[in-house]
Structure 1
Amino acid sequence: MSRTISADRNVTAIVLAGSRGPTDPVAVAAGVSHKALAPVAGVPMLARVLETLSTVPRIERIIVPIERPELVLEHPAFAPFLERGTVTVIPAASSPSRSVLAALDAVPSPFPCLVTTADHPLLTPAMVEHFWTHLPSDADAAVGLARSETIRAAYPETRRTYLRFSEGAYSGCNLFALRTAAARTVVSFWRRVEQDRKKPWRMIRMLGPGTLLSYALGRLRLDTALATFGRRTGTVLAAVDMPFANAAVDVDRPDDLTLADAILAGRCGGARVQPQDQVAAS
């Protein structure tokens, strides 16, 4: 097994804060103009993510692509982050992958880079550290995944999109590592599949008919899929198993917003804290 890395101290973080427009169901449910501003336990989601990333020592700077930068630049909740001088706000591009490429071009020496999203209010420093310190040293890029049993043990009723491999089902955690410049090819490939991110079989289809057949029959291993994807992009790819149920809880729907509110109320108030929250807070 490849050794893991933990020495990177100059990581660039990109927080994708794009919106699906004024009709976004989360924005409508929260009564705000932009999904990233939806409050969770009284604090805008994006502010929670920025606070988490700001407390991770290895993260040197943060870039936020958002359609209207003034939503961040003029909002009082973000003033402390802007005053520190470590957060840069840029206009979002037409898709998440294009926004990542724009962010990479916005600063010199952007690698290594962590990519996450503004709708990840349950993200903790412990999750970020676990993800980064479990990256194989030879990986150009990596993704954080949580096992279905980890998520369902904590939240049996929550709806998640699962990638089903022969060794188990996984849900994405909105955590991506772009460790080297070669990872740009992964982002470019992502542009071809991002519209199908909620339809796993369509993404697998991009890797060829043989891979799709193996996936359909339940025979495709995760490491085989990553190796095939790596060959297509000329990179070494990896996945990091995230032992935090909350790492897979992003806010895509109003019921996710309700769940995130309840989880944070348990963390901050008198309600019972879930076991995975205790791990994440340690």
Structure 2
Amino acid sequence: MYDAIILAGGENRKDLAGVSPQRYEALIEIDGRPMVTFVAQALADSHKIDRIFVCGPDALANCRFPANTTLLAGGRTIMETIMIGMNALGHQDKVIVATADIPLLTAAAVNDFLANCSMIDADLYYPIVNREMNERYYPGTRRTYVRLREGVFTGGNLFLVNPAIVPSCLAIGNRLIEHRKNPWKLCCILGWTFIWRFLTRTLSLKLVEKRVSDLLQIRGTVIQSGYPELGIDVDKPSDLKLVNDRFRDLLPTHK
């Protein structure tokens, strides 16, 4: 069993502000419910989760969460919010960290991710989904993709983390998170070799794993997932439309 932390403190100040009056993105409604509640329910339904900690604004108290949910205040940054969640755990066992903006998340996707993680000893597990899989189940979705030697991938928004590594990763972690939607800036953080390999399309998954692990001084690993729902985050109006369409059964369910 794992504990889980949901990051729900992001303010609705960008593109989505034009289509939803909610102050916080986690509270934007999908099919009549705040989208953060879909994430919490998927985690609870996986039967692999002991406790769920949702970090964010006081307004979360108006949401209906699974019985094993605890609400916590959010921090000023994503990494600070993660630290708040980690401090509430009371242990150093690996914990799931999820963003509040992946309402298509399913219990099956969570279980598959954890099953793959269980076969590898690491400090940080990061899921990726290939473009073909994304476009097969969610045609027309617009994601940030990176071309690697093994294919074209987008990142997921569900992680498995060893709490012991978080304090030492705060500074670099904030920079990586800030530029997570910009492959070029990420490469600049990771060094000139990365920039060259990115431009020549010779980056490999193993090289990415090694460089990030060396930079953060941890053992990081990439998990290839067959569940696009891990990475369909709602951060622009077209994403919101896609997800609402999905809940109206206009798109096929991925099982």
Does residue 216 (structure 1) correspond to residue 206 (structure 2)? The answer is no
Letter in 1 for 2:154: S
Tell me the CA shift for residue 26 of structure 1: 2.3
The aligned counterpart of 2:142 is 159
2:10 partner amino acid? S
Q: Is structure 2 residue 134 aligned with structure 1 residue 146?
A: no
Q: After the TM superposition, which residues 96-107 of structure 1 pair with which residues of structure 2 at under 5 Å, given as runs? A: 96-107=78-89
User: Does structure 2 conserve the Cα–Cα contact (< 8 Å) formed by 1:143 and 1:239?
Assistant: yes
Equivalent of 1:63, from 50, 53, 77? 53
- Secondary structure of 2:60's partner? helix
Q: Does 1:52 align with 2:34?
A: no
Spell out the pairing of 1:101-180 with structure 2 (5 A cutoff). 101-135=83-117, 136-179=119-162
Tell me if structure 1 keeps the 8 A contact 2:129–2:225: yes
What TM-score do you get using the length of structure 2 for normalisation?
Answer: 0.92
Runs of 4+ with deviation above 3 angstroms? 182-188
Number of residue equivalences: 254
Residue 51 of structure 1 aligns with an amino acid whose one-letter code is: Q
Q: Compute the displacement of 1:114 (Å).
A: 0.6
1:3 aligned residue: none
Q: Which amino acid aligns with 1:105?
A: N
Query: Does the 8 A contact of 2:11 with 2:23 survive in 1?
Result: no
Query: Which blocks of at least 5 consecutive residues in structure 2 are unaligned?
Result: none
Check whether the contact 2:103–2:233 (CA below 8 A) recurs between aligned residues.
Answer: yes
- Is the 1:250–1:256 Cα contact (8 Å) retained in structure 2? yes
User: Percent identical across equivalent pairs?
Assistant: 26
Q: Partner residue of 1:5? A: none
Coordinate RMSD, CA, aligned: 1.9
- The DSSP-based 3-state class of the residue aligned with 2:190 is coil
Q: Partner residue of 1:38?
A: 28
For residues 88-136 of structure 1, the C-alpha deviation after alignment (integer angstroms, 9 at most, x for no partner) is 2222111112211121112300521111111110000000011110014
One of 60, 68, 72 as aligned partner of 2:60 = 72
**How far does residue 179 in structure 1 lie from its aligned partner after superposition?**
3.5
Residues 244-271 of structure 1 show CA distances to partners (whole Å, capped at 9, x for unaligned) of 23332110011111100111221xxxx5
Q: 2:220 aligns with which of 231, 237, 244?
A: 237
